[in-house]
Structure 1
Amino acid sequence: MKPDRSKDPQRIGFLFNHDELHQVAHIAPIISALQRQAPTAQVEVITSSDRQAEAVRQFLDPAAPLPQFQSIRPSGWSRMIEALLGNMVPLNRLSSLKRNAALFRQFDALVVPETTTTFLKKNDQMARPKLIFFPHGAGDRSIGFSPEIARFDHVLLPGEKTRDRMLAAEVIRADNHKIVGYPKFEAYAPRPPVKLFDNDKPTVLYNPHFDPLLSSWFRFGEQILDYFAKQNDYNLIFAPHVMLFQRRLLASVEHRLFRFRQNIDPRYAVLDHMHIDTGSERSVDMTYTRTADIYLGDVSSQIYEFIQKPRPALFLNSHDAKWRDNPNYDHWTFGPVLDDVAGLGASLDAASPLSDLYREAQTRAFVHSFDRDDDVPPSLRAAAAIVEFLDLA
């Protein structure tokens, strides 16, 4: 006879199952808020590394009970095989999900910031756990609206833009989602600005993505670093997506493309007006999107964090995209789009001050992408949505 669990407190896990830390701030602020709103629930944290666990702790309310932490470290075999395959396939994540399936079934719900977790639903449409998804970013790439999202039981969303596109893609329904705002903004709001350079020159943030088709790094990266090294008018922060320099061979499942990434010439790192960061915590905590005066990039969702304060932006079309009127490139309406880097200097000089046209485009897109409630922060809104969905009240 199966035990009667109807009177047991619901067990809710916040699962962090990615190699890097860029997803943590999207759902970690919700943990303490959920503990306050559902004091009878058993809220736990599941991580795959000590770095993740430490990152999560930064967002916990010290006045709230410390949730139980569990580790699902990838096995040595999966780490070795993934390394042999050039880290192209997320074997560590998939292996951790498979090996810990019995653990996950003990939870009533898992809150996650990425779609790999739907692996749990593919071969076993189990009732436990229910999967609750919050996307790690509010960008425009088509992968953000993939069919995998339809496997989630409930989806929390930052704003109307993501909701509208997911509804159009039929990966969410009218009754299985909730707009709650963007907890990452709340998480880093108290942090003071950082001064990186001992001068008053305008600072450019070059923020290429890692996707081997869409990223400007593979075609233009070396030319861009060389340009900034040889000029004296601008500072440069080179802070790509953290996954770009975690792998030597990068793969795009979406575009079925593989590409080797070239290394950075060490001479750039010693220049006073260039700051190179290929994956520190500052790459994910909005330090650079807040510090920079001008954004230079391609398809990273960090542009939406940058336009929290409207500023000049330039975009690099390194893959000959037909981007006009394409929703996957809506952010390319925030500033000029360059098909090559021959005129980069002139484009930078012309970018400031920000024109009314681009300011209006950025402001309009920001409001459409991030729902704001001045009285209730996103973490509390997300927690309330989880309470409602799981009937925790």
Structure 2
Amino acid sequence: MPALLPSGRPDALLRRIHVLAIGGAHQFAHILPVASELERRQPGSVTFFVCSEEEAAIAQDQVRDLGGPCPAVEVMRLPGIAVLLPRQLHKAARLIVWAGRLCDAAAILCAERTSTMLGRLRGDCPPILHIPHGAGDRAVGFEKRFTLFDHVMVAGRKDRDRLLASGFVEPEACTVTGPIKLATILSSPRPRPPLFDNPRPTIFYNPHFSKKHSSIAVFGRKLIEAVVQDGRYNLVVAPHVRLARRWSARERREWEALAVPGRVVVDLGSARCNNMSYTLGADLYVGDVSSQVYEFLAHPRPCLFVDARGTDWQESEDYAMWHFGEVIAPDADPVAALDRAFANHGAYLAWQRERMAYTIDGISWAPDGTPTFKGRNAVCEAADQVERYAGLAVSDGWASAA
């Protein structure tokens, strides 16, 4: 029989770390590298929880690409009656059904905030640590549920400063580790083939899923038609993956039918939407409020933003990204705006780099514009924090990762 701690928990639980990925595969890249690093340090101790067999396969494939050890991957299946619930309630349902299993650990790591329910569901909930999935500016990224985390790890000083100013996080409970996803993908030796087999500049249109902010309904088709008619640009239309999830099969087919071979890609949720293929491969970013603009600006390039609602944005922290390029109304001429964005990028370059350095800790640029993260290892720093909260001796992650 395993030895018991004063709390009554078996000693073996001290070595268990549960990584919750209930928000979808688009969040995996923000926490899976940390889960793999923890598994390397504490073999057999880490379980990565997902919502479907498909997501389990995606997680295993991503770890294989990372080249590190794969933690155990467990699918959080719902009982038959729970499956009948509306889709938006499935995350909460899984947490309720699986609460006992999830809390059977020394620490929990997650990339979304619904998992804070566990602290209210179970009196024996272990420490919950959080890595936000992105470094955007919307107010929803700085909200009251942050008070329910034991520790938050952010990509840079921007997010830490704003969380502390909100009063939802205490200074000792928030660490700047650097960007997990961005640093991991940029350090990968895997080749990145061009998005199109032609020399035309490529536009990446990346509307958000938020009905309040998204520009797709008032600008998306107009942009596609204008780019096709003009003929000088390639176009990738890849909205936030949550946008197309709420569309009917008919709506998806209608949007996908707008693709033009060799000229326009319409991607409603492939792996390339999540692995930075488009943010790294495009020449100009068009969007509204998605945090992917900060991934795009790892290599500072022209940006264009669509204000779908006539927002009073100039002095708002929630729209700080809109200072990276021109902001246009939906009735603007798309091609003329694209032309201006390329021509006027020099006016925005210094601010793009300054804001990126504030948002993404440790980033700098070589003379040729290549981003580097000298002196920082975001994955190891995040793993260190998880080990501390799990009561484990912190491994020499820096040395072993070098």
Give the aligned partner of residue 352 of structure 2. Answer: 362
Q: Give the partner amino acid of 1:269.
A: A
Over aligned residue pairs, what C-alpha RMSD do you find? 2.3
CA-CA distance at 1:229 after TM superposition: 2.7
TM-score normalized by structure 2? 0.87
1:255 aligned residue: none
Of the three residues 14, 20, 28, the one matched with 2:19 is: 14
Corresponding position of 2:391: 391
Residue matched to 2:366? none
1:217-228 to 2 correspondence within 5 Å? 217-228=216-227
Cα displacement (A) at 1:384 = 1.2
In structure 1, C-alpha distance between the alignment counterparts of 2:193 and 2:303, rounded to whole Å: 20
Equivalent residues of 1:26, 1:183 under 8 A apart: yes
Query: Is the 1:239–1:279 Cα contact (8 Å) retained in structure 2?
Result: yes
Structure whose residues are more often helix by fraction: 2
> 1:292 matched to which residue of 2?
282
Partner of 2:246: 247
1:72 partnered with 2:76? yes
Matches within 5 A, 1:324-363: 324-363=314-353
Q: Does 2:310 match 1:313?
A: no
CA distance in 2, matches of 1:261, 1:141: 27
Q: Give 1:295 shift.
A: 0.5
Which residue, 361, 368, 384 being the options, matches 1:371? 361
**1:140 matched to 2:117:** no
Residue 208 of structure 2 corresponds to which residue in structure 1? 209
For residue 7 of structure 1, report the CA deviation from its aligned partner: 3.8
Aligned to 1:113: 111
Aligned pair in 2 of structure 1 residues 66, 286: CA closer, same or farther (>3 Å)?
A: closer
Residues 134 and 155, structure 1, Cα contact 8 Å, conserved in 2 = yes
User: CA offsets per residue over residues 314-334 of structure 1, 9 Å max, x none?
Assistant: 000001111001000000000
Cα distance change on mapping 1:272 and 1:384 into 2, 3 Å: same
Q: In the aligned structure 2, how far is the partner of 1:247 from the partner of 1:267? A: 18
Q: How far off is 1:306 after superposition?
A: 0.3
Unaligned 5+ segments in structure 1 are: 250-259
SS state of the match for residue 315, structure 2?
A: coil
- The change in CA–CA distance for 1:386 and 1:267 in structure 2 (over 3 A counts) is closer
Q: Counterpart in 2 of 1:323?
A: 313
Decide whether the 8 Å contact of 1:133 with 1:154 is kept in 2.
yes
TM-score (norm 1): 0.88
Contact 1:311/1:354, CA 8 A, preserved across alignment: no
Q: Secondary structure at the match of 2:242?
A: coil
Distance 1:91 1:311, change over 3 A: same
Distance of aligned partners of 1:110 and 1:41 in 2 relative to their CA distance in 1, 3 Å threshold = same
> How many equivalent residue pairs?
373
Please say if residues 227 and 335 of structure 2, whose CA atoms lie closer than 8 Å, have aligned partners that are also in contact. no
| Partner Cα separation in structure 2 for residue 197 and residue 66 of structure 1 | 33
Cα drift, residue 91 of structure 1: 1.2
Against the structure 1 CA distance between its residues 357 and 134, is the aligned structure 2 distance closer, same or farther, given a 3 Å change threshold? same
How far apart are the structure 1 equivalents of 2:294 and 2:67? 32
For the pair 1:81 / 2:80, whether they are aligned, the reply is no
Q: Which amino acid aligns with 2:120?
A: K
What is the letter of the counterpart of residue 11 of structure 1? R
- Which residue matches 1:230? 229
1:179-237 Cα offsets, whole Å, 9 max, x none, are: 11111123322232222322211110010001001000122222222222322011100
How far residue 174 of structure 1 moved from its aligned partner, in angstroms, is 1.0
Residue range with higher mean Cα deviation, 287-296 or 28-37: 28-37
Residue 345 to residue 40, structure 1, CA distance change in 2 (3 Å): closer
2:272 is aligned with 1:274: no
Separation in structure 2 between the aligned mates of residue 64 and residue 213 of structure 1, nearest angstrom: 40
2:307 counterpart of 1:304? no
Residue number in structure 2 paired with 1:254 = none
1:349 Cα offset (Å): 1.0
CA deviations over 1:319-375 (Å, ceiling 9, x no partner):
111100100000000000001243221111121245333101110111111112523
Cα distance in 1 for partners of 2:255, 2:16 equals: 49
5+ residue gaps, structure 2, are 363-372, 394-402
List per-residue Cα deviations over 1:89-130 (Å, max 9, x = no partner).
x21111110001111221121100000101222354x24221
Distance 1:40 1:80, change over 3 A: closer
Percent sequence identity over matched residues?
Answer: 32
For residue 60 of structure 1, the aligned residue among 50, 60, 63 is 63
Q: Residue type matched to 1:325 in 2? A: E
Specify the code of the residue in structure 2 equivalent to 1:46.
F
- 8 A contact 2:215–2:330 mirrored in 1: no
2:255 and 2:266 in contact (8 A); partners too? no
SS of the residue aligned with 2:254? Answer: coil
Deviation at 1:140, TM superposition (A): 0.3
Aligned-partner Cα distance in 2 for 1:107–1:333: 44
The 3-state SS of whatever aligns with 1:69 is strand
Q: CA deviation at 1:267?
A: 4.2
What code does the residue aligned with 2:379 have?
Answer: S
Task: Work out whether residues 229 and 271 of structure 1, in 8 Å CA contact, stay in contact via their aligned partners in 2.
Answer: no
1-side partners of 2:125 and 2:109: how far apart? 13
- Partners of 1:194 and 1:365 lie apart in 2 by 29
